[in-house]
Structure 1
């Protein structure tokens, strides 16, 4: 199997692994946003839509901002 075949017809285990990873990413973002009181449903739904953009944006928009605010307080 060459790379071209792998990306055009990925094995079932690869598809399941990607689906599980994206699902758990959405759950983690949802739960963390819920703890911080930062629109958990919006972040959770966006978190299960793709990878890794929601995780990167969530880090800069929520986590990093919270850390800066706690340092300044």
Structure 2
């Protein structure tokens, strides 16, 4: 359970509904073309997940480049 400092109340008001409607009406459609084969990983296949994780661990330093 999240602590109080991480909880956020969101009320869907007329103002936020108007902002959402404006964002939807002014957004452009984007078609995504996949040019490479897609590899799917399942949580039960730990060997493939280890290989996937090693891609991120192969760089020196942490996620912030330190």
TM-score normalised to structure 1 length: 0.28
More helix by share: 1
Q: Using CA pairs below 8 Å that are at least 6 residues apart, which structure has the higher relative contact order?
A: 1
Bigger Cα Rg: 2
